[in-house]
A and B are shown apart, each in its own frame.
Chain A
Amino acid sequence: MNEIDPRDDRRGLEDTAVLSELNRLVDELDPPPADLVDRVKFAIALESLDVEVARWERAGSFAGVRGGQTGTITFTVDNLTLMVNFTSTGSRHRIDGWLVPAGEHTVEVRVADHQSSCTRADDGGRFVLPDVPAGTTQILVHLVNSRGEPGRTVVTPTIML
């Protein structure tokens, strides 16, 4: 199954043995999260494939919103910043967001196994979705230009809420 550097001197054999063990251990001790494939499939199941990916800007530590906490996440792509605050309301969430630079862009929140929720940001770039179901969540921003014409779509990786 594995063809790792089959050298036939003693050290080569030791190397081969260590690499074989390591090959097993990376899967046993550091496997991808069991649901990651499903989350990726959900994240890329988009109507349009022509999307820009906004990256999660972690402030210093890698601690983020995982598992139903309240918190603020910042995503950025090119010159767009998307700040989102999640407030848990039991099994659902209130989402307060802010887009910089501001614009009356359409914000879509996709939650796995639920219908999308949509709203439009006000002229200050703020938006509110008061009642969003919990689960694997992805935010899409359908940008409009100054004349209100549709432009690029920005998507985030999924977050677990």
Chain B
Amino acid sequence: MDELHTADDRPPWDGLEGTERHAVCVAAAREGNRDALDVLVTELNPLLWHVARGQGLDRAAAEDVVQTVWLAFLKNIENINEPKALVGYLVVTTRREARRTWTPNKRETHLSDEFAEQLESNTGLPEDVTLMDDRDRRLWLAFGRLTTRCQELLRLTVLAGRAEYRAVAEALAMPHGSIGPTRGRCLNLLRNYLETEGGSR
């Protein structure tokens, strides 16, 4: 942040990447380094957001879930023994938190995998939908027709494909270079919807 910093007071995570960087930040945050916490929040917040949204939460609920997860993380920061597990911990905690928040039709049920499987989700489109590229619009509509379970899987798939979130793939045991049967089925459905999404909407 401060361009006048000299090499000596560079933060210890400077120049590090991925899990190594996060691990150093966790260690520094435990020692009370607020900048380290801020680095973690800045870099991992989009991941938490997409995980919460992938559970079918609306944007306002997803915001609260993300905040709750970070606050809970503070309390548990001493207990995260395996620094490489940070991303996994955050993803798992966000999913759990999202599910307990999710109350379909005012029922106090938590979103189970089985229910998410059947649930047609409503992803919504931005208000300036007319400004969108037609192919983008059709793909997003098709994506929105998938079950919440499929949407989450595909969101996690693309996130795990990003260099900065590689730990997601490890945390969720999603190996590179292979698409399991469930993801394959979701992708087939997505392509089918995309083909029928032509002039009907």
Q: Residues of A with Cβ closer than 8 Å to B? A: 1-7, 14-15, 18-23, 25-33, 36-37, 39-41, 43-46, 49-53, 55-56, 58-62, 64, 66, 155, 157-158
Q: How far is the CA of A101 from the CA of B193 in the complex (A)?
A: 52
Q: A40-B41, A53-B72 are in contact. Are A21 and B177 (CB under 8 A)?
A: no
Main secondary structure of the interface of B (DSSP, over half): helix
Report if B63 contacts A (CB, 8 A): yes
Is B61 in contact with A22, judged by CB distance below 8 angstroms? no
Is B59 in contact with A53, judged by CB distance below 8 angstroms? no
Q: How far is the CA of A71 from the CA of B41 in the complex (A)?
A: 30
Is B161 in contact with A44, judged by CB distance below 8 angstroms? no
Q: How far is the CA of A39 from the CA of B184 in the complex (A)?
A: 38
Is B158 in contact with A23, judged by CB distance below 8 angstroms? yes
A-B pairs with beta carbons under 8 Å apart, 11 shown: A4-B157, A4-B161, A18-B190, A40-B66, A43-B71, A46-B74, A55-B68, A58-B61, A58-B103, A62-B58, A157-B63
Q: Residues of B with Cβ closer than 8 Å to A? A: 34, 37-38, 41-42, 45-46, 49-50, 53, 58-61, 63-64, 66-68, 70-72, 74-75, 77, 100-101, 103, 106, 123, 125-126, 135-136, 139-140, 143, 154-155, 157-158, 161-163, 176-179, 184, 187, 190-191, 194
Option from B45, B74, B125 in Cβ contact (under 8 Å) with A32: B45
**In the assembled complex, which residues on chain A have CB atoms less than 8 Å from the CB atom of B178?**
5
Is A2 in contact with B162, judged by CB distance below 8 angstroms? yes
Q: How far is the CA of A7 from the CA of B179 in the complex (A)?
A: 9
